[in-house]
């Protein structure tokens, strides 16, 4: 445990909450993917597939941490887990917020061309993603990081005048 705390620069026990929650989210994601892939009610096959997907996702995210460690300026390494959690929560939430808005506007696959439907769905999802990203960033204590990230993203979308 001591080497784990040193590796992630954890100085207080409450900071262990983020790696633990991150692992729980990763196990849940692996389980959902395994259920989708296997379409099986065989619990052993689902557990084995979940373990395999968890291992692959864990290696992938640890690789991302190494790549982004120098790019993202954070005080301690464990804060990167918190940032990844914000991205995950924001992505899921933008879908949950966007779906009722699409229905409220009367946009359905039946009354629009499928390409137009998905284009509008993605645009509405992106709008809510931008708002939720800064909001969840603030809730998780990284408002400055996500506000700077948001400004870069808006500039890439060609909306430079909204940033300044």
Same domain, 87 and 64: no
Same domain, 79 and 93: yes
DSSP letters, 81-117, are HHHHHHHHHHHHHHHHHHHHHHHHTT--TTTS-HHHH
Same domain, 95 and 122: yes
**Which of 24, 42, 71 marks a domain boundary?**
71
Distance, CA of 119 to CA of 15 (rounded, Å): 40
Domains: count for the chain:
2
pLDDT confidence band for 58 (50 / 70 / 90): very high
Q: Which domain holds residue 4?
A: 1-71
Whole-prediction pTM value? Answer: 0.74
Is residue 65 scored above 80 in pLDDT? yes
156: left (phi over 0), alpha (psi -120 to 50) or beta: alpha
Same domain, 112 and 39: no
Same domain, 94 and 64: no
**Which of 48, 71, 94 marks a domain boundary?**
71
**Which of 27, 44, 71 marks a domain boundary?**
71
What is the per-residue pLDDT for 164?
Answer: 63
pLDDT digits (tens, 9 = 90+) for 11-26: 888 888 888 888 898 9
Alpha carbon separation from 57 to 9, 62, 64, 72, 73 (Å, rounded): 22, 9, 10, 21, 23
76: left (phi over 0), alpha (psi -120 to 50) or beta: beta
Same domain, 52 and 80: no
Same domain, 80 and 28: no
pLDDT digits (tens, 9 = 90+) for 71-87: 887 788 788 888 888 99
pLDDT confidence band for 5 (50 / 70 / 90): confident
């Amino acid at each position: 445990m001591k080497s784990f705390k040193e590796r992630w620069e954890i100085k207080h026990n409450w900071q262990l909450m983020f790696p633990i929650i991150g692992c729980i989210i990763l196990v849940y994601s692996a389980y959902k993917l395994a259920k989708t892939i296997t379409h099986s009610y065989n619990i052993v096959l689902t557990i084995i597939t979940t373990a395999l997907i968890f291992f692959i996702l864990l290696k992938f995210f640890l690789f991302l941490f190494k790549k982004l460690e120098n790019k993202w300026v954070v005080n301690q390494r464990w804060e990167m887990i918190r940032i990844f959690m914000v991205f995950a929560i924001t992505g899921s939430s933008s879908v949950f917020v966007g779906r009722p808005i699409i229905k409220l506007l009367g946009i359905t696959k039946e009354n629009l061309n499928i390409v137009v439907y998905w284009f509008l769905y993605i645009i509405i999802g992106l709008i809510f993603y931008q708002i939720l990203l800064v909001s969840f960033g603030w809730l998780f204590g990284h408002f400055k990081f996500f506000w700077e990230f948001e400004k870069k993203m808006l500039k890439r979308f060609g909306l430079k005048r909204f940033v300044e």
